[in-house]
Amino acid sequence: MAAITTLLTIEDFERLPADVAKGHELVDGELVDVSGNNPLHNWLRDYLIAILLSFVTDHGLGRVISEQEYDFEGNAHGPDVSFFGPAKALLVDRKKRVQRFVPDLAVEIASNSDTYEGLLRKKDRYLRAGVSEVWLIAPEIEEVVIHTARTIRALRGTDAIETDLLPGFSITVERLFQNL
């Protein structure tokens, strides 16, 4: 007799104790381990948060947050960094672990436990759910690939990371990785 597996919903995931949910995402109804970032990953995430937070705050563009979970088509993912504009800031439910909207920008930094295919699946899910732009960052090769529904831009070295979501924001890829 085959075992019956009960798949979790966003609401089930929301009710899990913090110590069970921590370090996990909800993917296709199952908990997936996403823990174990190394210092390179964390330094890059924190630097990106610092520069984006300063820019977004100074220009009144919305909110920047790290590791916040959102509902992507019934899946709970927490991009390493995310940004959303003022209209979506009104949708934030401070009592919920998983926000019931998606950010405008989602940034994923490849870690040792990620696979290329896994990152592409996540990027596709983000875009299908309504994220305007996804940045996939590969620290080992110092590359940033910016995906939208219609374009893909691979950036390296002196290429500038820029987005219409943050008018006036610009940083070169080499500067992003400079102090790591």
CATH superfamily placement of domain 37-177: tt1808, chain A (3.90.1570.10)
Q: Within a 10 A sphere around the Cβ of 146, how many other Cβ atoms? A: 19
Predicted TM-score of the model (pTM): 0.92
pLDDT at residue 4, as a whole number:
58
Residue labelled with tokens 């590359």? 143
Give the pLDDT confidence of 63-80 residue by residue, as tens digits: 999 999 999 999 999 999
Return phi, psi of residue 145, to 5°.
-115, 120
pLDDT at residue 2, as a whole number:
58
Give the pLDDT confidence of 91-135 residue by residue, as tens digits: 999 999 999 999 999 999 998 878 889 899 999 999 999 999 999
172: its two tokens: 């070169």
State how far the Cα of 155 lies from the Cα of 79, in Å rounded to an integer: 20
- For the chain, the domains span 37-177
Q: What type of residue is 39?
A: P
Q: Which band of pLDDT confidence, cut at 50, 70 and 90, is reported for residue 3?
A: low
Give the pLDDT confidence of 7-41 residue by residue, as tens digits: 888 888 988 888 888 888 888 888 888 866 889 99
Please give the residue that has the higher pLDDT: either 142 or 14.
142
